[in-house]
Every structure is written in C-alpha cells, then in structure tokens.
Amino acid sequence: SQTIHQWPATLVQPVGSPLSLECTVEGTSNPNLYWYRQAAGRGLQLLFYSVGIGQISSEVPQNLSASRPQDRQFILSSKKLLLSDSGFYLCAWTSGGDEQFFGPGTRLTVL
Amino acid sequence: GNSVTQMEGPVTLSEEAFLTINCTYTATGYPSLFWYVQYPGEGLQLLLKATKADDKGSNKGFEATYRKETTSFHLEKGSVQVSDSAVYFCALSANTGFQKLVFGTGTRLLVSP
C-alpha cells in the first residue's frame, strides 16, 4: 500500500534562517506531487506541484522554492524565512486520478 | 477562475444533532467535487466525492449531492458524534488535464456531548 511521509513534524525557526521540509511517498511510481500551505484560520493554498523529476510548477510568487531530486521525493526550501512563512505545510500525491492523498503535515513557526 | 465558497465556522452542535455545511462552487466545465476532513494536528483525508451532476457521495454517515443547477455540494449528516469534531474542506477539481484541487477555506465543526 502507498504511504506518504513528511518531516519534521514540527519546526521552530528564527527569521532569516534557511528551511528544508521533506516529503517522500512509498508504494507508487511517478506520482504527481504537491505542496500546500495552510495559514492560521485560512484554507489551503497550493504552492507547488510536480509531474516528474526536476519538473516544478509554482502557483504563487513567494519566498519558497521546491525541488524533486528523485521520483518519490519532494522538498520545500527557503534561503531566508519570513514571519509570514509560518503555517502548516502539507504534501500530497496522486497517481493521476481524482483523489489526492495527504501527508501528516509540518507545523512551521517562524519567530 | 474556479473557486469554492464554504459557510463560515465554527459550527457548534450537540451530539446527535443534524449537520449541514454549505458549499457552493464556480467552475468552467464539469468539475469533480470533494469533501475532505482534517482532524486536529493531522493532514487531510478524503471523506467523500462526486464526479458528475446528481451523484451522491457518502461515507461514515456523511453525504453530499452534486447539484449542478445550484452549483452546490452541501455536506450533511443526520446525527453527529463528538468524534466528528474536525475541520471540513470542500474542494473541486476542474478535470482539465493535470489534477489540481481548489479548496474552500474550511469549516470547523465542534460537537459537544
């Protein structure tokens, strides 16, 4: 069966520090991968998606970037965090069908 | 563009009460519609879905009917439990090639004993 992992689960970082969040999927090949952010009291905002290794599409201009170095690995990064980057980050995958499967999320607090 | 509008929360109910969470959408073409649920501190889980007009999605006592004439997909449950307390997200997928979900802002449900 397929599983999706995210780490770390919780992260507290100072403003201006770098960021790296990792997402991996097991049990499937060539998934479509997504990064979402959920800010406090708000809905989900799609940040990036990827249809294959090295292929990244950005949905909104921002302080973040994404990379897909391997088929089932999706990384969210920043060189310098802002206060506004705080939120709950969710990774998701789909095999091309209707349903997206979400990871457990990473709660990021930027102080 | 495509969008989803959900009722503001929180919705506060007593156990065994009837639940309705309203959801309306704007989309070109014929989207698929979804309800996702997020329990405290967790990611999202698919609750139910409907892929064409008049379809009814159902799961765990929840149901929603795809109403094209009113562009709605309201979530209902006849008798809520404390364990149903969560945030519920309505979403659509435009079915135009690559699958991207557009989410509503979420509605928090609080059920008290």
| Mean confidence (pLDDT) of chain A | 92
Rounded Cα gap, residues A102 and A99, in angstroms: 10
Instruction: Tell me which residues of chain B have a C-beta less than 8 Å from any C-beta of chain A.
Output: 32, 34, 36, 41-46, 49, 51, 89, 93, 98-101, 103-106
Confidence check: pLDDT of B97 > 70: no
Dump pLDDT digits (tens) for B62-96.
999 999 999 999 999 999 999 999 999 999 987 66
Q: Is B21 exposed, middle or buried (0-12, 13-18, 19+ CB in 10 A)?
A: buried
Cβ distance of B99 and A51 shorter than 8 Å: no
Q: Any idea of the CA torsion for A88, A36, B51, A4, to the nearest 10 degrees?
A: -80
Q: With 90 as the cut, is the pLDDT of residue A95 above it? A: no
pLDDT in tens, A41-71: 677 889 999 999 999 998 887 889 999 999 9
pLDDT higher at A62 or B104: B104
Which residues of B fall within a CB distance of 8 Å from A98?
32, 34, 49, 51, 93, 99
Percent share of chain A, pLDDT over 70: 99
Dump pLDDT digits (tens) for A27-41. 998 999 999 998 776
- Give the pLDDT score at B95: 65
Provide the pLDDT confidence category of residue B42 given band limits of 50, 70 and 90: confident
> At B37, which amino acid appears?
V
Closest CA to A92 of A104, A100, A84: A100
Average pLDDT for residues B10-36, to the nearest whole number?
94
Higher-confidence residue: A41 or B3?
B3
Q: Tokens for A13?
A: 């970082």
Distance from CA of A103 to the nearest CA of B (A): 6
Among candidates A42, A51, A102 on the partner chain, residue whose Cβ is nearest the Cβ of B44: A102
Give the chain A residue nearest B47 (alpha carbons). A99
> What pLDDT does residue B43 have?
86
Q: pLDDT confidence of B99, banded at 50, 70, 90?
A: confident
What residues in B contact A92, CB-CB < 8 Å? 44
Closest to A37 (Cα-Cα) out of A81, A70, A2: A81
Give the integer Cα–Cα distance in Å for B70 and B28: 14
Q: Which of B32, B49, B89 lies nearest to residue A43, judging by beta carbons?
A: B89
According to the model, what pLDDT value does residue A41 have? 67
The pLDDT of residue B36 is 96
